[in-house]
Amino acid sequence: MYIYDQYDQRIVDERVAQFRDQTRRYLAGELSDAEFLPLRLQNGLYVQRLAPMLRIAVPYGLLSSTQVRKLAHITRHYDKGYAHVSTRQNIQLNWPLLEEVPDILAELAGVQMHAIQTSGNCIRNTTTDQFAGVAADEREDPRPWCEIIRQWSTLHPEFAFLPRKFKIAVCASEEDRAAIHAHDIGVELLPNAAGELGFKVLVGGGLGRTPVIGSVICEWLEKRHLLTYLEAILRVYNQHGRRDNKYKARIKILVKAMGIDAFRDAVEAEWALLKDGPSTLTENEITRAQSFFTSPPYAALDGRSSQEALAARAATDPIFGNWLARNTRAHRVPGYRAVTISLKATGIAPGDVTDRQLELLADLADRYSFGELRTTHQQNMVLADVEEAALYELWQHLQKAGLATANIGYITDLICCPGGDYCSLANAKSIPVAEAIQARFEDLDYLYDLGPVELNISGCMNACGHHHIGHIGILGVDKKGAEFYQVSLGGSQSKDAAIGKILGPSFSQEAVPDVVENLLGTFVSLREGEETFLQTYNRVGIEPFKERVYAKAD
Amino acid sequence: MPKLIKNDTVSSDSWQRALPDGDQLFKDHFPTLAQWQAATETLPTVQLQPGDEVATLVEALDTLAIIAVDFPVFTDGRGFSYARELRQRGYRGELRATGEFMPDQVHYLRRCGFDAFQPADASRLEEYLRQLRVFSEHYQASIDEPLPLFRRRDSESQPA
């Protein structure tokens, strides 16, 4: 993974000193609430319903065991002993004290971490595939490019007061596991006709109040032009994005208003000033960034024999077999698998992890996965490089700690924002809805029979729970002061990206599990062969689901 | 006379923010872009507001001694890009931030090419001065450091 040099460290240390000074001035009355607001937001600090919320950056989801231990220490010492994995692969603390945030940031800086630009109207954490570097369908490791974007966007002087937040995602594989169509900018590493890898650039995707799938602004961009091209897009947006209405301020609204062709022309005109200038990437820099993401020292293993042993073990221990089939996936290196650790046990807020679990995971990472862990935008964690021969032992450790729920990709592995229990923006609670759905689908045989279903819950329009791109999306809405839930169907976050369609009138919280059960019952009755929920939906459309769900409502 | 920060020290001159009232010029106030365009002679100063097109000034950059970029509210960051554009298009005169920006923004403003700072509230100028250099290192290329960090790292790793 990327290791700071003296420059990176100095920048992060100076940021801590700056925020310590800002906090002091705020508490002394020298900075007003209005002035402190964007300053604290750009350091990840929200003021929430119950306490401040601090969002810690996990650049493209990669963590060392040392960093995970530090996070465990921070949650125990400064918070209530647990942390939350967000849909931007970041880590959130729900109960820090404002006065102690500078100390937390100093602790983080000690392990090469920070909270820079994890909120506010600026460029946020760049996200990518949680299986980067180990996926078999990868064209090139996306993480050096994420790191190059991270450095360029960190404390960028021109883009700290944008019209609205700005999110970038990078995909480098056949399957899109980074939801690049739902980002302000999505870049995909792709070969041109000559076979040379470059970037396809999408712009103007996003969720929120007006969900939009990104448009192609550039079919293929030479790698060295990445930063100047991004800078040109941001400069057009910063100058022309709407600032009169925060709901119309994202770049997707500007791209729609101008049309993609006129927007492209404006970007090309800006790019002419920047192209081939000093921000053009050098071979040296690309090589330097790539040098941090080389393969760990994999053992030369006989994949076939370890798989036979696993199959035998799975046959005698079906609970392990379930976990093996659902929570591990193929690795590009024979004899290894990537393991997803489910943070979706029923009864625990989705994405929450305790200090002790974090410490255990750090130990397991050291023992089984070259000391690295990853966070995922589905709010789980990953040990990416585990020898197949060690899987049974690893599973036993995970099971004891409540971290072996075998549900990855199934309906109980749902994405869920913190919602009205914590967030002051939310219209409605989301965690109790998630829990009720998980409780309804506890029967694993039924769960597996349903096949992969992505269910995403957001407590408000801001769509932190990505409800628009869930196969089933649930959105908390406010109806005359009461909490209701709107359901949508058919969203997708992969390359066939789609925004879900609203089913109809919204439901009370108690009704949601029945509604979900009815939706899945409809699917089961209409399913042909081994169709997935999304395939059946795409074949039959929304009507049969609507009829069944609203049939008894009158 | 109104106070401002220029060349990293507190100084003063007679210029004040524009009075956006038709085409008429006001003594000691920067002309708005509309006033500047309507003037019969070539005026040596102008003030840009958020929403103005920087391109309007491209032909006249050599004739301008001061371009003021106004910040009616500190959350409107368009002026940061205006400054970068003006400098990149070759403007060498004084680039002055005026209005409601806060001390914690002057560091970024300077990096975008501003060299004079005239906040509406002149009572905290010492704080603005203190905030000019809160960072000693940066990743990006900017007007005051034309090479991004990666190019400076490159030259370090290669023998001179």
3-state DSSP of A507-535 = EEHHHHHHHHHHHHHHHHHHCCCCCCHHH
- Mean pLDDT, chain A, whole residue set: 94
- Mode of pairing for the β-strands spanning B94-99 and A381-387: unpaired
CA distances in angstroms from A61 to A127, A370, A372, A492, listed in the order given: 7, 16, 11, 21
CA atoms of A34 and A429, how far apart (whole Å)? 28
| Per-residue buried b or exposed e for A328-365, using 16+ beta carbons within 10 Å of the residue's own CB | bbebebbbbbbbbbbbbebebbbbbbbbebbbbbbebb
Among the residue ranges A73-87, A287-301, A493-507, B52-66, the one predicted with the least confidence is: A493-507
pLDDT confidence band for A552 (50 / 70 / 90) = low
Do B107 and A284 make contact, defined as CB atoms within 8 angstroms? no
Strand, coil or helix: what is A341?
Answer: strand
Higher-pLDDT residue of A422 and A112 is A112
For residue range A443-478, list pLDDT tens digits in order.
Answer: 989 999 999 999 999 999 888 899 999 999 999 998
Longest Cα separation, chain A? 68
Q: Would you state the structure tokens that stand for residue B156, as one six-digit string?
A: 């370090």
B112 touches chain A (CB under 8 A): yes
Do B157 and A155 make contact, defined as CB atoms within 8 angstroms? no
Residues 6+ apart with CB under 8 A from A63: A71, A372, A373, A374, A375
Strand partners, A333: none
Residue pair A84/A351 in contact (Cβ under 8 Å)? The answer is yes
CA atoms of B34 and B89, how far apart (whole Å)? 21
CA atoms of A194 and A182, how far apart (whole Å)? 29
B157 touches chain A (CB under 8 A): yes
pLDDT of residue A50: 64
pLDDT at residue A202 tops 50: yes
> How far, rounded to the nearest angstrom, does the alpha carbon of residue A428 sit from its chain's CA centroid?
21
Residue pair B43/B124 in contact (Cβ under 8 Å)? The answer is no
Q: Which of A233-242, A438-447, A497-506, B124-133 has the highest mean pLDDT?
A: A233-242
Chain A contact set for B148 (CB, 8 A): 152, 227, 278-279
Q: Which of A5, A31, A157 sits opposite B80 (nearest CB)?
A: A157
Mutation pick from A117, A161, A286, A287 vs chain B, by most beta carbons of B within 10 Å, is A161
Residue pair A375/A85 in contact (Cβ under 8 Å)? The answer is yes
Do B137 and A5 make contact, defined as CB atoms within 8 angstroms? no
Three-state secondary structure readout of A402-461 = CCCCCCCCCCCCCEECCHHHCCCCCCCCCHHHHHHHHHHCCCHHHHHHHCCCCEEEECCC
Q: Which of A31, A151, A243 sits opposite B76 (nearest CB)?
A: A243
pTM given for the model: 0.94
Residue pair A237/A251 in contact (Cβ under 8 Å)? The answer is yes
- CATH code for residues A303-400: 3.90.480.20
Q: What CATH class has A415-551?
A: alpha beta
What stretch(es) of chain A map to CATH 3.30.413.10? 134-290, 415-551
CA-nearest of A170, A165, A92, A186 to A123 is A165
Do A11 and B138 make contact, defined as CB atoms within 8 angstroms? yes
Q: Specify the DSSP element, H or E, that contains A501.
A: strand A501-502
Do A11 and B75 make contact, defined as CB atoms within 8 angstroms? no
B101 touches chain A (CB under 8 A): no
pLDDT at residue A553 tops 70: no
pLDDT at residue A364 tops 90: yes
CA atoms of A162 and A119, how far apart (whole Å)? 12
pLDDT of residue A435: 94
User: Checking phi first, is residue A428 left (phi over 0); if not, alpha (psi -120 to 50) or beta?
Assistant: beta
pLDDT of residue B160: 45
B123 touches chain A (CB under 8 A): no
CATH level 3 topology of B3-134:
Rossmann fold (3.40.50)
Do A158 and B81 make contact, defined as CB atoms within 8 angstroms? yes
Do B148 and A39 make contact, defined as CB atoms within 8 angstroms? no
CA atoms of A171 and A186, how far apart (whole Å)? 8
Do A157 and B142 make contact, defined as CB atoms within 8 angstroms? yes
Look at chain B and count its residues. Answer: 160
Residue pair A229/A277 in contact (Cβ under 8 Å)? The answer is no
Residues 6+ apart with CB under 8 A from A417: A87, A423, A426, A430, A457, A458, A459, A464, A465
pLDDT at residue A293 tops 90: yes
AA letter at A298: Y
> Residue for token digits 């005359």?
A480
Domain residue extents for chain B: 3-134
AA letter at A347: G
Chain B contact set for A288 (CB, 8 A): 150, 153
Q: Would you state the structure tokens that stand for residue A525, as one six-digit string?
A: 């009755």
| CA geometry: angle A99, A103, A108, nearest 5 deg | 135
Strand partners, A212: A206
How many Cβ atoms sit within 10 Å of the Cβ of residue B75? 18
For residue range A157-170, list pLDDT tens digits in order.
Answer: 999 999 999 999 99
CA contacts within 13 A on the Cβ side of A120 = 29
CA atoms of A174 and A142, how far apart (whole Å)? 12
- Nearest chain A Cα distance for residue B39, angstroms: 26
- Domain A134-290, architecture per CATH: 2-Layer Sandwich (3.30)
B150 touches chain A (CB under 8 A): yes
What does the pLDDT average to over A48-75?
Answer: 92
B9 touches chain A (CB under 8 A): no
- Nearest chain A Cα distance for residue B125, angstroms: 13
Q: Which of B81, B136, B153 sits opposite A235 (nearest CB)?
A: B81
CA atoms of A84 and B83, how far apart (whole Å)? 40
- Nearest chain B Cα distance for residue A152, angstroms: 6
Q: Would you state the structure tokens that stand for residue A25, as one six-digit string?
A: 């001035």
Chain A contact set for B108 (CB, 8 A): 157-158, 160
pLDDT at residue A484 tops 60: yes
Q: Is the dihedral of CA B33, B35, B38, B44 positive or negative?
A: negative
For residue range B101-122, list pLDDT tens digits in order.
Answer: 999 999 999 999 999 999 999 9
